[in-house]
């Protein structure tokens, strides 16, 4: 893998393929440690740099992106101890920005995609567990982790014990 000083435009297809494979391996190992064993072995800045570099390589050399690329998923594969739950809608992750210019570009891209002015609410991001809660007729019937974004783990029996998760919802809708 290059040290990142070589621009992606300078990479041959073989170099791009090799670097993308190495980055994918590092990112996957970091995700498994963080999500699967709750033991981060790289800091956020390093992880984000790897992901940014891989995204750049795949954008300029799309043929190197495999179906299992870390850029196509979030989280990690589910454990075999809990029942899998396929999400009705894919659970995504937050995008990162590292400069005011990147934030401005992201805001402009979002406005363009919405086709109208966008109103913003910002909140502090606290690392934790993302859950998908499903209610039927106002009653909690399923709680699942994000997993890889498509399939998570059924944690309903644990979720009903948490004070912040209502078992029933009031109202219409």
The rounded distance, in Å, linking the Cα atoms of 173 and 150 is 25
- Number of other residues whose CB lies within 10 A of the CB of residue 45: 9
Active site residue 109: no
Sign of the alpha-carbon torsion through 13, 99, 92, 158: positive
> What is the C-alpha to C-alpha distance for residues 129 and 143, in angstroms, rounded to an integer?
12
Q: Which of 125, 137, 161, 168 is catalytic?
A: 125
Using CA atoms, how far apart are residues 74 and 48, in angstroms rounded to an integer? 13
Spatial distance between the Cα atoms of 84 and 146, rounded to a whole number of angstroms: 11
61, 50, 60: which is closest to 24 by C-alpha? 50
What's the sign of the alpha-carbon dihedral 20, 26, 29, 35?
negative
User: Active-site positions?
Assistant: 125
């Amino acid at each position: 893998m290059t040290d990142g000083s070589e621009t992606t435009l300078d990479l041959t297809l073989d170099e791009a393929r090799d670097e993308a494979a190495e980055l994918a391996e590092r990112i996957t190992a970091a995700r498994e440690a963080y999500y699967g064993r709750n033991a981060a072995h790289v800091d956020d800045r390093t992880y984000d740099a790897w992901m940014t570099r891989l995204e750049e390589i795949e954008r300029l050399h799309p043929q190197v992106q495999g179906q299992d690329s870390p850029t196509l998923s979030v989280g990690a594969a589910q454990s075999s101890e809990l029942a899998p739950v396929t999400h009705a809608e894919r659970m995504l992750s937050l995008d990162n920005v590292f400069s005011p210019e990147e934030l401005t570009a992201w805001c402009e891209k979002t406005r363009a995609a919405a086709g109208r002015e966008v109103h913003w609410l910002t909140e502090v991001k606290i690392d934790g567990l993302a859950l998908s809660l499903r209610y039927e007729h106002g009653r909690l019937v399923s709680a699942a982790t994000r997993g890889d974004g498509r399939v998570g783990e059924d944690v309903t029996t644990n979720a009903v014990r948490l004070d912040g998760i209502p078992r029933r919802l009031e109202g219409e809708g």
